[in-house]
Structure 1
């Protein structure tokens, strides 16, 4: 169902289901210039900053992605988890889960992990920097995002490849081939639940001052997480931490390859890394839009919105709205908040860990890999939904290469 009224025909039309659709296309920019919203084959899209800010917090909208399994006639292990988990719960239930999960993401615990992020980034860079080139997703983004999660949940880093492979398979559920891939998706999800149960059993015997122990302690609160909710949250933390962080680190690198002056600036000023992460996530978030659904009829800025209407909030379009942001990519600019981690009651609970691990990685990458360029054609996920590089071949100059007398040819 979509909002309809007499002047709909004058409102731009966008089709995010078209395989060639790009959230950064001229069509989207033209639509944003013409109107704060656009019609789509399913519901409407919000394109401008002010309207996005209001809609993402609107009391008559709920998280929209809970219906995804139903759209695919899916009812297996992944589908049941997707509907149960915090992301797709509402009201008091959502607030309770978020409150109980919050201590596991406390600033003190995140700060305690920073030395490990630094050591991990250093180890991975050392492994390829002398080569003067690498396939960045394979050599850095994938292992870094996955091993951060291994560190977070307290399992051996030797398991990182299994975690990475399981996350890729589980991620097929969010694509157009979900129905075809459901058996594989459910097998991967079942394996992650078995891992979560094993971790919890181990930590109950041998508590630590860490993420999982903090969740287990919340499990004993008077409003307690049930064991199922505990496992659901751990699986969400593993899957979400790997899948989105890997893609986002790839988008960070791609953005800087395309803006070499900003990379040089960051290399000379590593303290800009935190604002660099924010600037990339403003313009190239891996989650290009978030979805809401109207829980009752209401009117917004003269547009009647019927109960059940799907609202697509186009994060990238809103966060480059020229009424609120000066054009361009500038890691020194003081910007308004972006929507790369969602917003409102459903903002990403793990955003502080993601910000911290990407910031530490970026500090070292910019100091060690100089003048990066593409070394071949990257392969990309579609530029809509959850996006990012599949492969990112790059070449660079490094101090190690220079000392060997074999710098990259210009």
Structure 2
């Protein structure tokens, strides 16, 4: 269904392969209107409206119907998709969130920080050529996959399995979902086998770790996570945690290469790692839009929204809205919250993990990869939905690891 509009507003052809969500076209439209129309519903462009609509009880998570839109209404993938905490609403969503939250506690994640730091240095030490690397294949992809392996307590040398199966499941986000379904469901079954083995192991041999915290999760009013909820949640963590971190690290490098003064500052002040992550995700998030669906007809700022309307909340457009932010990229600035992890009831459950692993990686990269610059051969996912580099060759001036630097 389409919204009922009250006069001419900007219109985006988001199905056009040339459409870019971070383009001047979108930013110019933001100055004329708080929203635009698209073939799929409306696009919300300004910070204030994105902030309010993300939290509105009159909208629900919008991705639940994606498999059905592509003719996939039953089977393992459809069941898994429907199981996502992201796609649950109301009491069931809150129950799952309350049970899972302790596993994502800052205390548990903080204990892994030395591992994240050692991993980042190891990968940089292992670049095939001095002074250059293919950033996705040599750093972002293995870093994201091995962080997941560390969290789950599986051998880190199995990271290619995490990477390969997650990338295959990622085909479900595209318009070829139906034809790719056999590959997607085979990858899903392999990750289910991982999850089942992990659950059985932690029940027999509990540890002070993430998986044990999930296995033991219980509350008097909420009961326990079922076996199905445990395995579905673990597979979602593998897929979502890998894809988001890999893409966001590549986007961070793109952003810092455009702002070399900020890269040098990060190298000098590694304590700014956390703020660097927030600033990158404000101006260059991998999640370009957050999807919601209107539950019942209502009017908002002169626009009548009808039930079933898709609402895309443009996170980059909101994050760079001059009504809310001073222009520029500054990792020392105090900013309003960005929407790179969504917002409202569906705020990303794993945001502590992503914030922690990236805030450790970026300062180490800044210290050791001086004056980075893009080399020919980069290839990018489309600038819509979720994006990031597929390949990102970069050159840099190498600096030694602090551990290997000579003592003065």
Coarse TM-score class (shorter-chain normalised):
over 0.9
CA distance in 1: counterparts of 2:173 and 2:286, whole angstroms: 13
Cα displacement string for residues 141-187 of structure 1 (whole angstroms, at most 9, x for unaligned residues):
00000000001111011210111000110100001221121110111
Alignment-derived partner of residue 397 in structure 1: 397
Asked if structure 2 preserves the Cα contact closer than 8 Å seen for 1:297 and 1:307, the reply is yes
- The answer to whether the 8 Å contact 2:163/2:242 transfers is yes
- Alignment of 1:204 with 2:178, yes or no, is no
Kept in 2, the 8 Å contact 1:374–1:392? The answer is yes
1:194-343 equivalence runs, <5 A:
194-218=193-217, 222-343=222-343
- In the other structure, the counterpart of 2:53 is 55
Q: Where in structure 2 are there 5+ consecutive unaligned residues?
A: 402-408
Using the alignment, how far apart are the partners of 1:298 and 1:389 within structure 2?
A: 39
Match of 1:405 in 2: none
Deviations 1:332-361 (A, max 9, x none): 111111000000010100001100000100
Alpha-carbon shift at residue 76 of structure 1 (Å): 3.1
Match of 1:172 in 2: 171
Alignment of 1:66 onto 2:64: yes
Distance in structure 2 (CA, Å) of the matches to 1:262 and 1:136: 19
Displacement of 1:5 after TM fit?
3.5
Q: Distance in 1 between matches of 2:380 and 2:305?
A: 35
Shift, 1:6, TM fit: 4.2
Instruction: Describe the superposition over 1:260-300 as per-residue Cα deviations: whole angstroms up to 9, x where unpaired.
Output: 11111111111111111111100110010000011111111
* Partners of 1:72 and 1:184 in 2: CA distance: 16
Structure richer in helix, relative to its length: 1
In structure 2, the partner of 1:103 is 102
Whether the aligned pair in 2 keeps the contact of 1:129 and 1:400 (CA below 8 Å) is no
Residue 20 of structure 2 corresponds to residue 38 of structure 1: no
Instruction: Tell me how far apart the structure 2 counterparts of residues 343 and 117 of structure 1 sit (CA, whole Å).
Output: 26
In the alignment, what sits opposite 1:404? Answer: none
How many residues are treated as equivalent by the alignment? 399
Contact 2:99 2:219 in 1 (8 A): no
Shift of 1:400: 4.5
Query: What residue is the counterpart of 1:26 in the other structure?
Result: 24
Q: 1:219: how far off? A: 5.2
User: How many angstroms apart in 2 are the aligned matches of 1:118 and 1:269?
Assistant: 16
Distance 2:97 2:11 in 1: 36
Counterpart CA distance in 2 for 1:85 and 1:109 is 23
Map 1:361-372 → 2, pairs under 5 A: 361-372=361-372
Distance 2:160 2:5 in 1: 52
The answer to whether the Cα contact below 8 Å between 2:136 and 2:390 also exists between their aligned partners in 1 is yes
Q: Distance in 2 between matches of 1:273 and 1:67?
A: 37
Query: How far did residue 399 of structure 1 move?
Result: 2.5
Cα displacement (A) at 1:17:
2.0
CA contact (8 A) 2:252 2:280 kept: yes
- Shift of the alpha carbon at 1:254? 1.2
For structure 1, which segment, 14-23 or 123-132, has the greater mean C-alpha deviation from structure 2 after superposition?
123-132
